[in-house]
Amino acid sequence: MSFGDGGPDEGPGNGGTPDWEALADASAARARRKKWLLIGGGALATAAVAAVVATAVISANGGGEGTSAGRHASELPTGDDLPTELPAPEPSFSSVAPPPPPDPRDYIADVKKDRLPVDVDAFFPDDKLTAGGRTYARGATHRTKQCAATTQGALGAILTANGCDQVIRATYSRDGVAVTVGIAVFDTEAQAKRTAQLATGGLASLSGSGVPVFCRDGVICRRTANSYGRYAYFTVGGFTDGRNATKADKAVYTTGDDLTDYTFRRIRHRGEVQASAAADITTT
């Protein structure tokens, strides 16, 4: 039996010596093919996952449209899901206290604030007035800037010295008793108050319009002096038949008190009207 040299045509099956170099090349080729198969399979798997994710995103977004537009009607909130009542608003409170209401007296204490007309109708508008169930008829009225001319005795000089601007008078009578009320007008409350405190002599009675002359020529009558705001007001009252009045004559005192109270209320009302108007302007 003889052995050949192991040429190329001799393989293992032929009983010859193996071609080790050829075997090595074949093994390397097989390794390369396996490597490329693994790389290709990974790429395909990655592409498949990306396709699945993209499909899921498109489905969630309603076919690629915007989120709100693509939402199915079944996914929108129903009437049962919405609140049936709105929450009540929380109360809020200002930390700044509201200003106090205007004081009516402030509007009759100074000419700069007291802007209503100053005339007979402002203080004595009624042909008749009633107080305590008693009715008095208005007689003559009078208005003048010659303050001293409306007085008797020293009162005229006192009015002038304190800056009296004008005097408004009106007479009311009932059952043989007459009272003249005079309002002296000043620029300030201090002037009016000082005038009332210093008052001596008195107001001159005003007759006419059904009331005869009274409280003149030395006849004794009741006299009063008061002030409120920038107004000093005086009364002189007695009998229309010329008799002297005494402290026992209740009708003279009652008539004088009724007219004094009426005058005070008219002056105070003047302040209230102006204070109320100022409050309305402030609140609006």
Of 175, 172, 227, which Cα lies nearest the Cα of 205? 172
Q: Is the pTM of this model over 0.85?
A: no
| Residue 50 scores a pLDDT above 90 | no
- For 149, list phi and psi in degrees, rounded to 5: -70, -10
How does residue 171 score in pLDDT terms, banded at 50, 70 and 90? very high
pLDDT digits (tens, 9 = 90+) for 95-131: 666 666 789 999 999 999 999 999 999 999 989 999 9
pLDDT digits (tens, 9 = 90+) for 241-274: 999 999 999 999 999 999 999 999 999 999 999 9
For 55-67, b/e burial (b = at least 16 CB within 10 A) is eeeeeeeeeeeee
How does residue 26 score in pLDDT terms, banded at 50, 70 and 90? low
pLDDT score at 101: 75
Collapsing DSSP to helix, strand or coil, 181 comes out as: strand
